[in-house]
């Protein structure tokens, strides 16, 4: 059996389409739906009454709004099937064979995680997207691996999916890829993460705060230091790409990265040079038309200097 966990906050306009995409799955009889109502203004009684005879559906209402990470964690705690899929309340499965395709992949390969391709719905336009390893979209997880390695969501409102997947990958799962399209992600212009204020002022702060949460959790749970070093290699490569190509080294949000430097120094000897080079190449490949103002080492030195300045305050 497969548990479909759907956090929902005031999602009454989109939840029917979401659940119809579950209902249309070729293996719908293998699916259990857990709709986690994150204390929406109105309950989902009408939704339950419509689908209760068509889907194996449970609605769990939280007594306060806690965010999608907390809601998904409740879904994990309250469900018990061998496999888990996370679906957002305003998204849908790509077609009727989406779940069957990734379910076949994870069972035939005995993997702990399968990720796949997806499409982005931007108005009437469908854009092919690679279902990267960070987000929860277009993936199926083995519950046993989650439970055995004590992988949980942080109680945050943004980037909690990145934290969950970072913890998952830190424990070195068996990962497979399914080449079919599985998920249709809807880009909402009024989404918090799409606002100009979030992208300019809050994205890096949320990314760094969630990464620190993962690093502290990893230390407390005695994760292999080499695995932590690999995560830092990947994360600092992304940050280098962000401040070199997306914005600039002068961007004020770089101050949030300073607090990561103690972790970088602590695990410096666990960061393998070849791994760092590979991660840098992954982020900056096919972007040589841009001008490099800073090398990666110069970027790290800027962060170190910024951290030392902050310590003096």
Question: Are β-strands 83-86 and 31-37 bridged in parallel, bridged antiparallel, or unpaired?
Answer: unpaired
How far is the C-alpha of 96 from the C-alpha of 15, rounded, in Å?
Answer: 17
What predicted TM-score, i.e. pTM, was given to this entire model?
Answer: 0.87
CB 126 within 8 A of CB 119: yes
Residue 37 has pLDDT above 60, yes or no: yes
Q: Is 127 exposed, middle or buried (0-12, 13-18, 19+ CB in 10 A)?
A: exposed
pLDDT tens for residues 253-292? 999 999 999 999 999 999 999 999 999 888 877 555 555 6
CB 22 within 8 A of CB 93: yes
Residue 191 has pLDDT above 60, yes or no: no
How far is the C-alpha of 2 from the C-alpha of 31, rounded, in Å?
Answer: 5
pLDDT tens for residues 137-147? 999 999 999 99
Neighbours of 36 (CB within 10 A): 24
Question: Are β-strands 113-122 and 125-129 bridged in parallel, bridged antiparallel, or unpaired?
Answer: antiparallel
């Amino acid at each position: 059996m497969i548990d479909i966990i759907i956090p929902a906050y005031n999602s009454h306009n989109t939840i029917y389409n979401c659940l119809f995409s579950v209902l249309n799955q070729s293996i719908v009889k293998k699916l259990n739906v857990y709709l986690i109502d994150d204390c929406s203004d109105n309950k989902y009684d009408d939704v339950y009454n419509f689908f209760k005879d068509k889907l194996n559906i449970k609605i769990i209402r939280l007594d306060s709004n806690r965010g999608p990470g907390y809601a998904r964690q409740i879904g994990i705690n309250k469900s018990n099937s061998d496999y888990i899929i996370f679906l957002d309340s305003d998204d849908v499965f790509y077609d009727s064979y989406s779940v069957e395709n990734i379910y076949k992949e994870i069972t035939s390969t005995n993997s702990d995680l399968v990720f796949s391709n997806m499409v982005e719905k931007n108005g009437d336009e469908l854009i092919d997207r690679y279902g990267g390893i960070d987000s929860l979209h277009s993936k199926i997880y083995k519950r046993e691996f989650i439970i055995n390695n004590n992988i949980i969501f942080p109680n945050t409102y943004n980037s909690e999916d990145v934290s969950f997947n970072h913890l998952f990958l830190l424990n070195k799962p068996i990962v497979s890829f399914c080449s079919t399209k599985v998920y249709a992600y809807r880009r909402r212009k009024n989404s918090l993460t799409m606002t100009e204020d979030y992208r300019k002022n809050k994205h890096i702060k949320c990314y760094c705060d969630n990464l620190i949460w993962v690093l502290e959790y990893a230390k407390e749970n005695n994760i292999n230091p080499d695995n932590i070093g690999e995560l830092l290699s990947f994360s600092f490569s992304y940050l280098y790409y962000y401040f070199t190509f997306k914005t600039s080294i002068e961007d004020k949000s770089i101050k949030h990265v300073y607090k990561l430097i103690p972790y970088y120094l602590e695990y410096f000897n666990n960061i393998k040079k070849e791994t760092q080079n590979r991660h840098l190449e992954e982020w900056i490949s096919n972007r040589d038309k841009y001008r490099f103002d800073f090398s990666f080492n110069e970027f790290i030195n800027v962060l170190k200097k910024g951290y030392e300045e902050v310590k003096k305050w």
